[in-house]
Each structure stands twice: as structure tokens, then as C-alpha cells.
Amino acid sequence: MTKELIFKTDLPFDSVIYDKDSDSWRFCFKSIDILTSGFWRILKDGCIYSISSDHGHQFGLSKPVDLESLLNTELVNRELKELRIKECTGDLLLSLTDDCKIEIFISSTGYETYEFSINNKRYIGLGSGEIGIYDEK
């Protein structure tokens, strides 16, 4: 069973990068990159702002939703204050300044959903909510 893990930081946002070939997202902060191929959403002031599965859909708009551009504009000047791996589910919650959160959900019982490195350890969100923790050398 996954135990809750919490990491406090003050890292400035750098960028969001979408890789179409692997259908994965990289949320980059000063010294931490969070890579995810799973479902995520952004909350602002407690409300849903954007959801990963909306990327590329037109929804009757004049052009498809480009979350990479939207988030690179929206998250500028924010800092990552906390990374929290939720107990039991292994979901990853990123808390940023200005009441902004990124929720990354474990989205498979067999595949890895996210990974990041902090404090010389690599954390991988495994299938079914387990977390792999590996020393980096």
C-alpha cells in the first residue's frame, strides 16, 4: 500500500512540453521535471481549469485547444510549493502559488503513469497506485 509522501519546495515554473509521439507531458520546474503519460487536470481557485484529454479538440472553437501554449502562459511566474503523493491511490498532487494545483491521476493498473526525481531519489507512479522509489547514483 502506498503511504503519503510530501515534498516542500519553492521552485519556479519553467515550461510545459507535450510530446505527440509518446502522448506524454513534461511539467518543468527549476530543478524538477515531472513526466506523465496519464490523465491530469489543472485546478485554479478550486475549479477545473483544464484537462489533459482536451488537448487538440476543437469543441466548436475557431481552432483546437492547445494546452501546451495555454499552460506555458498560465503557469508563468508561479512556483511549485509542494509535491504530494496521495496515500493508497498514488495520485500526484502539485500545489503551486496563487491557488493553482495540478492533479496527476494513476491511470492504469499495469503501466507507469508519472515519474520525477527529488532528493537523489526517483519516484515512479506504478500501476494500481504503487510507487517505485529508486536511489539515483
Return the pLDDT at 1.
63
Candidates 95, 85, 80; CA nearest to 10 is 80
Task: Give the whole-angstrom CA distance, residue 76 versus residue 126.
Answer: 30
Candidates 2, 22, 20, 15; CA nearest to 70 is 15
Task: Give the whole-angstrom CA distance, residue 124 versus residue 102.
Answer: 17
Task: Give the whole-angstrom CA distance, residue 91 versus residue 126.
Answer: 10
Neighbouring-strand partners of residue 42:
50, 102
Q: Which domain holds residue 114?
A: 5-135
Task: Quote the pTM value.
Answer: 0.94
Q: What is the pLDDT of residues 70-119, one digit of tens each?
A: 999 999 999 999 999 999 999 999 999 999 999 999 999 999 999 999 98
Structurally, the chain folds into a number of domains equal to 1
